[in-house]
């Protein structure tokens, strides 16, 4: 039977790294971020977004400019909520269809790499994308480690890293909804071993 894992963690917490280790072990990956981008190309979503936020969110070619859209909603709770109302149901439907497809193909394990920028009440229900997610694995990592990694490996300024982290849920909030917690403060070998251990646990369940 297919096991579906929702992988959650803040910016720079190690979602891509851990997803990669899981795919090496045989999991298939659904990149929620990429799927999210597809939603913006849906004609009906396009129309609703333009009605809600105006022509200023479009590229010269008439496509949704996600960067401009981000600027419009950033720090504005009401706009963010409007955006979520348009995007979230479509996102959930898309994820559900993808998961179903992998189930039909008989995949052993499906990992959904999701960021979970949503409030806790949403995580509990919709944030699990669908009740089809069997477990939520949360990556916990100290702020100091994330800042160091983002500075060294992505060239982000400390203030940028802090601003992005503080616009997301805290690890304390995330771990409340976790079936398993992966600490990623250690080195890559350590986290790889932890992932393998969790994988083995699932295999025997």
Positions in the binding site for ligand ATP (CB under 6 A): 9, 11-17, 149, 153, 184, 186-188, 191
The smaller minimum CB distance to ligand ATP, of residues 43 and 153, is found at: 153
Whether 158 and 173 have beta carbons less than 8 Å apart is answered as no
Whether 115 and 33 have beta carbons less than 8 Å apart is answered as yes
- CB of residue 17 to ligand ATP, shortest distance in Å: 3
State how far the Cα of 44 lies from the Cα of 57, in Å rounded to an integer. Answer: 15
- CB of residue 35 to ligand ATP, shortest distance in Å: 14
The smaller minimum CB distance to ligand ATP, of residues 8 and 73, is found at: 8
The smaller minimum CB distance to ligand ATP, of residues 49 and 114, is found at: 114
DSSP secondary structure, 4-26, as one string: EEEEE--TTSSHHHHHHHHHHHT
The smaller minimum CB distance to ligand ATP, of residues 15 and 128, is found at: 15
- CB of residue 55 to ligand ATP, shortest distance in Å: 30
Across 30-55, b (16+ Cβ under 10 Å) vs e yields bbbeebbeebbebeebbebbeebbee
- CB of residue 204 to ligand ATP, shortest distance in Å: 26
The smaller minimum CB distance to ligand ATP, of residues 89 and 186, is found at: 186
The smaller minimum CB distance to ligand ATP, of residues 45 and 114, is found at: 114
- CB of residue 154 to ligand ATP, shortest distance in Å: 6
Whether 111 and 31 have beta carbons less than 8 Å apart is answered as no
- CB of residue 29 to ligand ATP, shortest distance in Å: 12
């Amino acid at each position: 039977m297919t096991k579906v894992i929702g992988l959650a963690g803040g910016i720079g917490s190690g979602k891509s790294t851990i997803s990669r280790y899981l795919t090496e072990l045989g999991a298939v990956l659904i990149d929620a971020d990429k799927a999210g981008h597809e939603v913006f190309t849906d004609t009906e979503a396009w129309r609703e977004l333009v009605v809600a936020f105006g022509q200023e969110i479009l590229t010269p070619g008439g496509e949704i400019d996600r960067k401009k859209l981000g600027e419009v909603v950033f720090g504005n709770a009401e706009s963010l909520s409007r955006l979520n109302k348009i995007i979230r149901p479509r996102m959930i439907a898309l994820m559900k269809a993808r998961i179903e497809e992998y189930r039909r193909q008989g995949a052993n394990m499906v990992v959904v790499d999701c960021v979970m920028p949503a409030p806790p009440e949403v995580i509990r229900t919709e944030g699990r994308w669908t009740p089809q997610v069997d477990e939520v694995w949360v990556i916990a990592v100290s702020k100091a480690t994330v800042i160091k990694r983002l500075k060294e490996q992505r060239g982000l300024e400390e203030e940028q890293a802090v601003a992005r982290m503080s616009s997301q849920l805290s690890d304390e909030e995330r771990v409340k909804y976790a079936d398993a917690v992966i600490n990623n403060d250690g080195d890559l070998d350590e986290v790889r071993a932890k992932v393998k251990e969790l994988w083995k646990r699932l295999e025997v369940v």
